[in-house]
Amino acid sequence: MRLEARRLDVDLKGRPVLAGVDFAAQPAEVTAIIGPNGAGKSTLLRALAGLLLPTGGTVLADGRRLGEWERGALARALAYLPQERTVHWALTARAVVALGRLPHQPPGAGASAADTQAIDAALAAMDVVHLATRPVLEMSGGERARVLVARALAQEPSVLLADEPAAGLDPAHQLALFAHFARLAGAGRTVVVALHDLSLAARFCHRIVLMHGGRVVATGTPQDVLTAQHLAAVYRIDARYATLDGVPIVLPVGLLP
């Protein structure tokens, strides 16, 4: 499913946070949203998820405005993983992941075979099967983060919007996470990820949207966007784009004056 934002303006408490943002995420692609802190990445993701009302412009999912979608149908098509990783009660990991199945369950119905299968698959994909019966509140930050990603995966959406899902994960689980996003894209899903790790973006994302000050500065393939000029202009860093054994890496070598 294609997800698109046209001329999107968002004001939060009277302060413009997004200004004239054009954005498109295609099926079968992992799209990265990158940019410095406060660039508007999270706000764009929330707007794409239909969680805030833009002051101008539209968000289209599958060609239809988000407001025209029926609430339940949108929840089955689109999953949103917030940056904030709060879990308010001491649910087990499995119970948390099962929440992702709510949009698929008619009111009053228990878990179907499809639900159980989706929950098991999501737990396995995020390598948290061994944590399934443990309360989420007793876990480490990275473990909890993986359980919450598994919750979004269990939703089996056409579009996955994930806000900094890799933050706090160890390198092995970061790689596994993005490899899984790549697999989802390979299966025709649309994946949109906000992140700070430029090497992960270069390696796993098909398209990169670079944001700065509430605007989109550049859009394109990793080679097009992760140039020394762009990174210098937006992050004020001296960074090199290189490949090591065929793997692209972006290395910040220093701050610019």
Residue 110 Cβ vs another protein, minimum distance, rounded to whole Å: 8
The interface mask with another protein, positions 110-149, x = CB under 8 A, is --------------------x-xxxx------------x-
**Residues 36-55 close enough to bind another protein by CB under 8 A:** 46, 49-51
d(CA 232, CA 228) in angstroms, rounded, equals 6
Comparing CB distances to another protein, the nearer of 86 and 229 is 86
Closest CA to 219 of 57, 44, 15: 44
Stretch that binds another protein, among 60-68, 70-78, 170-178, 249-257 (CB under 8 A): 70-78
Chain centroid offset of residue 12 CA: 21
H helix or E strand, kind and range, residue 161:
strand 159-163
Contacts of 150 (CB under 8 A, 6+ apart): 93, 96, 97, 100, 122, 123, 125, 126, 128
Question: Among 10, 33, 74, 239, which residue interacts with another protein (rule: CB under 8 A)?
Answer: 74
d(Cα 160, Cα 233) in Å, to the nearest integer? 30
Interaction residues for another protein, span 148-167 (CB under 8 A) = 148, 151, 155
By CB under 8 A, tell whether 103 contacts another protein.
yes
Question: Which range binds another protein by CB under 8 A, 2-10, 101-109, 185-193, 245-253?
Answer: 101-109
Q: How far apart are CA 199 and CA 241, in angstroms?
A: 9
Select from 252, 254, 153 the least CA-distant residue to 196. Answer: 252
Catalog residues that contact another protein under the rule CB under 8 A: 46, 49-51, 71-72, 74-76, 78-82, 84, 86-92, 94-96, 99-100, 102-103, 107, 130, 132-135, 148, 151, 155
